[in-house]
Chain A
C-alpha cells in the first residue's frame, strides 16, 4: 500500500488497515485477496467520509495466486478503481502523461522500472516542489520488497564531536 496525504491520517489509517488485514488472516487461515483488501480499505474511508474524513490517497498493489498481480487506485473521497497504472499528487500530471505514452500491458519488470525512472526524471525536472528522494518497491509472488532508492540528497553521516 503506497499512501500520500495528511501525515497523521496517513500513518493512522494505513496501520489500521494493515492490522485488520493481518487479523483476518489469523481468524480465517487464509490471507485477504487484493480485491477484498481494496474494498475493505475503501469501505473504511467511505464510512469516515461524512464524519471525520481521512485525507489519504492510496495506491494498493497485491499479488494473488489465482488472479496474479492487481493495482487499485483509492482516493481520499473513497473512489475505488482497479487500474494498470496510477499516480497521486502534483507529480501525477507528469507521471500519468509519461505512462500514457510508454506503458504497455505486457511490459517486463525491467521495462517497468525504466518507465518508473522516466516518471521520476520528469517529476524532478518539471516540479518546483519535487521531493529529492524516491523509493521503488516491487510486489510479486514472493511478496513485497524494497527494490531501489533514487536519491538526489543522501543522508549525511553525523560526524563525531
Chain B
C-alpha cells in the first residue's frame, strides 16, 4: 500500500487516491467549522484555538468575504486556504467584469471545487488540504445557500453542515435538532452545534452572520458571550424541567 501514495496521480489497486484521503485527514485535524442556513439568515461559526498572548488576534480572521454577498469558512491547512481564497476573490471580480453580474453561490463553489480537483490530477502537486463551507445569497432571487467542498473536489448543497474536528458529532447534533429557522434562531442553532465540541465562551468561537441586506457581519466577543449565556440558561432550564416531573411523582 505504501507504494501507491507517493505521486497522487496514481490509483491504488483497490481504487483509492491516497493523497486525497490523507488530505481529508488534514481536514479532520483542522478546527471545527459549522454552517447553518435559515430562511433569511446564514450563519458560519468557527472554533478559535486559544491565541498566544502576544498574537494580534485581529490578523487571524477565519471567516472571510469572497464578495459582497458570498462568504467562506474552512477547516484544514490555513496556508492553502489563503491561496484558494485569493483565487476565488479574483474569480468573483473577473466574473463581474466579463458577465456584468455577480457570481451565484453555486458558480463560485463549482469554481473552488474545480480548482481543488485540478490539484488531484496533476503531476508534482498535492491536493489542497482544506474543506470549505461557502455561504451566500443568490444575487437575483435572494435565496440563501450553503455549500461544502472538500479536497477531492466534490461539492454539494446543505441545510446545515460541519467540517473539521469532531464534525461527525456536530453533524449528528444538527441532524437531530435542525429545523427551518430565521434570524436569531439560526444564529443560536449554529452556536449550540459548535458548543457541542468546543469550550464555551466568546473567545473560543468566531461567528459571522450573513443577511441579504447587510452582507456579512462578524460578531463581537461580548455579543457571542451573551448568546452563549442565553444558550446555557436554556440548557439549564431544560435540565431542570426534565428533573422536576420525576421528583413530583415520588
Contacts and interface: CB of A to CB of B under 8 A. Distances in A.
A62 to B, nearest CB: 19
A21 to B, nearest CB: 9
A97 interface: no
Contacts of A15: 97
A20 B94 CA distance: 9
A71 to B, nearest CB: 26
Interface stretch (A22-30, A72-80, A140-148, A152-160): A22-30
Interface string A7-41: 00000000110011011001101000000000000
A26 B67 contact: yes
Contacts of A22: 93, 96
Interface residues of A, number: 9
Interface in A109-140: none
The winner among A16, A19, A26, A27 for most chain B CB atoms within 10 A is: A26
A8 to B, nearest CB: 14
Contact of B97 (A19, A26, A27, A29): A19
Interface string B89-102: 11011101100000
Main secondary structure of the interface of A (DSSP, over half): helix
Contact of A16 (B67, B86, B90, B97): B97
B79 to A, nearest CB: 16
B42 interface: no
A104 B93 CA distance: 40
Contacts of B65: 26
Contact of A19 (B61, B66, B86, B93): B93
A1 to B, nearest CB: 15
Nearest to A25: B65
Interface residues of B, number: 12
Nearest to A29: B61
Nearest to B70: A26
B226 to A, nearest CB: 26
Interface string B156-194: 000000000000000000000000000000000000000
Nearest to B59: A29
B94 A19 contact: yes
Interface string B23-66: 00000000000000000000000000000000000000100011
A27 B96 contact: no
Contact of B66 (A16, A20, A26, A29): A26
Contacts of B86: 27
Contacts of A20: 93
A19 B96 contact: yes
Interface in B71-100: 86, 89-90, 92-94, 96-97
A29 B93 CA distance: 15
Nearest to B94: A19
Nearest to B65: A26
B65 to A, nearest CB: 6
Nearest to A23: B93
Closest 10 CB pairs of A and B: A19-B93, A19-B97, A23-B93, A26-B89, A22-B93, A26-B65, A15-B97, A19-B96, A23-B89, A27-B89
Given A19-B97, A22-B93, 13 more contacts: A15-B97, A16-B97, A19-B93, A19-B94, A19-B96, A20-B93, A26-B65, A26-B66, A26-B67, A26-B89, A26-B92, A27-B86, A27-B89
8 contacts: A15-B97, A22-B93, A22-B96, A23-B89, A23-B93, A26-B67, A27-B89, A29-B61
